[in-house]
Amino acid sequence: MKDIKVLGPGCVRCRKTEEMVREEAARLGIDVRIEKVTDYAAIASFGIASTPGIVIDGKVVHAGGLPSQDNLRAWLAD
């Protein structure tokens, strides 16, 4: 199971990013546990200045804007 954190205050892009992660994980048949991190101090602790951010198994893989489907697929399959 992959541990995924979606970092952001809950804006439209942050919610869309979470939805994209869920959909791609389902498409790939990968079990994921997704946690929304909305606390600014917690987000900053990952070194993220621009949201949404994605952290997979403790590693920051994305920050700022919507991720591409190709990148999501690669990050989840890794």
Q: What angle do CA 19, 56, 77 make, to 5 degrees?
A: 80
Which amino acids are annotated catalytic?
11, 14
In 3D space, the residue among 26, 20, 63 whose CA is nearest the CA of residue 44 turns out to be 63
Task: Provide the residue range defining the domain that includes 10.
Answer: 2-77
In 3D space, the residue among 57, 58, 42, 59 whose CA is nearest the CA of residue 7 turns out to be 42
Report the domain count for the chain: 1
For position 67, what pLDDT does the model report?
97
For position 78, what pLDDT does the model report?
87
Q: Looking at the predicted structure, is the pLDDT value of residue 63 above 90? A: yes
Share of the chain above pLDDT 90, in %: 96
In this structure, what CATH number is given to the domain that contains residue 34? 3.40.30.10
Q: pLDDT, tens digit, for every residue of 8-42?
A: 998 999 999 999 999 999 999 999 999 999 999 99
pTM, two decimal places: 0.95
Contact 58, 7 (CB under 8 A): no
